[in-house]
Chain A
Amino acid sequence: MSANGKLLDVQHVTVEFHIGGLMGGSLLVAVNDISFSMESDRPAIFTLAGESGSGKTTLSRLLLHDLDPTRGKVLFEGRDLATIRKRNDLKEFMKKVQPVFQNPFETFSPLRRVDAYLFDTALNFGVASDRQDAARVVDGALRNVGLSLDEVSKRYPHELSGGQIQRVSVARSLISRPKLILADEPVSMVDASLRMEIVNLFRKLRDEQKVSIIYITHDLATAYYVSDRIAIMLRGYIVELGPVEDVLNRPAHPYTQLLKESVPEPLPADRESWAKHIELGTTEVKEYGREGCKFAARCPYVMDICRKADPPDVLVNQQTVKCYLYT
């Protein structure tokens, strides 16, 4: 059952960690009052973009029900994830939400054949009744990603390329016919010449298999290529959210502008803006504990009010921006 036709509804979610020792028992707010949603009837690719320390990894673990939010709710198909406790309910959830991990060579045990995991998935989630049936299901899933059971059968991870393993990983996640795939930096460890394979595959999955994908990355170029909407994360906040063309072509938030400018690109025009000198902050750690906007220390347009309290979310053109510039 889905409420309001929403596949995923993240409502004011906050995740806090207690850190003892080094920081003298303080609070690390990894995810801070985040809200966004995805529709059931329109499969889409939604990108969570951010650098290290932005909270995107914590958020992805939250969405996979790996941890619970300190405040707020995550609703999947109308059901609050925090109410999923029993093993059967968890299994039902896992059928519908599947991950793809970053490092292809760690995704599968080096001592097991990769197809073993696919068979496991098919049998454990009741998609196949026995091994023979599972072979059929597995082959089907592999063909969806441009491989086949013959090619992959009895192979160990080291016998395949990074790109191939990622495709197998995606195939595995498709076996239970999920509604949502969480891909955490799926191409950052894959060679450039093989990257497009995976990224094109995501587009195909959205269009043909009607699977929604949350694509987590720090690479804005592939995000532009593949996603429909994008959320830019900074230190636990979403500072800008909207359709990817608007956010990346006409960035409103100063941080998004900085990110976009810092992406090295081969076109002559962009090379000049990249070469503009920047000051690298020494305050990367200190930024976290600050009051007010987390970008205040580096923002070229910073005002007094920025340092006092968190900026509100404002609708600017097509996107939502968390910045005092637009109030």
Chain B
Amino acid sequence: MFKVIRDLFRYDGRFRLAAFFLTAVTVMIILSYVSPYDPDKSFVVAMDMPPSPEHIFGTDSRGQDVFWWMTFAMRNSFFMGVITAAVSRVIAILMGLSAGYRGGWLDRFLMSVTDTFVVLPLLPILILLGFLLRDIMNQFLLGFILALFGWPYDARLIRSQVLTLRERAFTRTAVYSGTGPFWITIREHLPFVMPIVLATTINNILWAIGFEVTLSILGLSDLTRPSIGTALYWANQHGALVAGVWWWIAAPTLAAIVLALGLYLLLTSVNDYIDPRTRLRLIGG
């Protein structure tokens, strides 16, 4: 494991950049636990102060230090993204693997369900749900709801991969070695599926955060908890741009960019490394 990270760090520029960005994100998340300011309170510091040595990202119109507030925002957004990715991966893998390997009626049934979810118009539904569940909405619930919609494309991807793998000779070898279908899927097919899973995981985190930002800006998520989206919502509410409080918009935007780029670069560099074909080239195949 460490050798992998060390190799990547040494030879892949993208990974180094990703490491830099994600370290910044991690630092921010950790700092949120030692924040001197409580994000729920207002007017704890002077309002609308531009960035200075004392307040690195300045302060906002609610009397909050933007930097420390963003540490909480980063934490909540990131964890919400992770919840979405985790839950939707599980669903996607289960659906994709079973449909791909079993085939037949199960495949047709599962794919009908998948296709139904694919064609659902997500934004209007989420807006509706956001509105209906406003009272109990928080990041966790939002993450979970997004997970319920974030799996269909990836399930199909995984299924296609399994369909190809099923036809390959080594699947037959495993069958004649007495291995049951479940273990064949796990031991033979999953290693080929993992690069897809990894790629889609990171993609999913970004997608979830994007949706969260969208919904929050529209005022449809839990506005009392800090997140990248709610930061922008409140900034908008207080007319930050008009009032010249640009740092209130810049900070969450910058946070979003750093998080997105960091995850993306991590994705591409690790993906290249664990792709079976690169791995084969690496070990001399």
Contact = CB atoms under 8 A, between A and B. Distances in A.
B178 A125 contact: yes
Contacts of A112: 170, 187-188, 191
A213 B283 CA distance: 36
Contact of B284 (A120, A125, A158): A158
Contacts of A95: 178
A125 B176 CA distance: 10
A120 B191 contact: no
Nearest to A97: B176
Contacts of A110: 276, 280, 285
A200 to B, nearest CB: 23
Contacts of B285: 110, 156, 158
A117 B172 CA distance: 11
Given A112-B187, A112-B188, A158-B285, A107 B169 contact: yes
A133 to B, nearest CB: 16
Contacts, number: 63
Contacts of B177: 117, 120-121, 124, 172
A125 B175 CA distance: 12
A109 B280 contact: no
B148 interface: no
A110 B284 CA distance: 12
B113 to A, nearest CB: 27
The interface centre, meaning the residue of B176, B284, B285 with most chain A CB atoms within 10 A of its CB, is B176
B192 interface: yes
Contact of B192 (A64, A111, A156): A111
Interface string B173-189: 11111111000000110
A98 interface: yes
Contact of B191 (A108, A109, A117, A158): A109
A94 interface: yes
Among A94, A124, A158, which residue has the most Cβ atoms of chain B within 10 A? A124
A230 to B, nearest CB: 25
A111 B276 CA distance: 7
A101 interface: yes
Contacts of B176: 64, 94, 98-99, 121, 173
Contacts of B188: 109, 112
B134 to A, nearest CB: 48
Given A94-B178, A121-B178, A108 B173 contact: yes
B6 interface: no
A124 B279 CA distance: 29
B10 interface: no
A117 B174 contact: yes
A103 interface: yes
A124 B176 CA distance: 10
B168 interface: yes
Interface in B149-196: 168-170, 172-180, 187-188, 191-192
B178 A109 contact: no
Given A120-B178, A158-B280, 14 more contacts: A64-B176, A94-B175, A94-B176, A99-B172, A101-B169, A102-B169, A107-B170, A109-B170, A111-B191, A120-B174, A120-B177, A121-B178, A156-B285, A169-B173
Interface of A: 64, 87, 91, 94-95, 98-99, 101-103, 106-112, 117, 120-121, 124-125, 156, 158-159, 169, 172-173, 176
10 contacts: A106-B168, A107-B173, A108-B173, A109-B191, A111-B191, A112-B188, A112-B191, A156-B283, A159-B284, A173-B176
Q: Which 5 pairs across A and B sit closest by C-beta, in order of nearness?
A: A124-B178, A158-B285, A106-B169, A121-B177, A109-B170
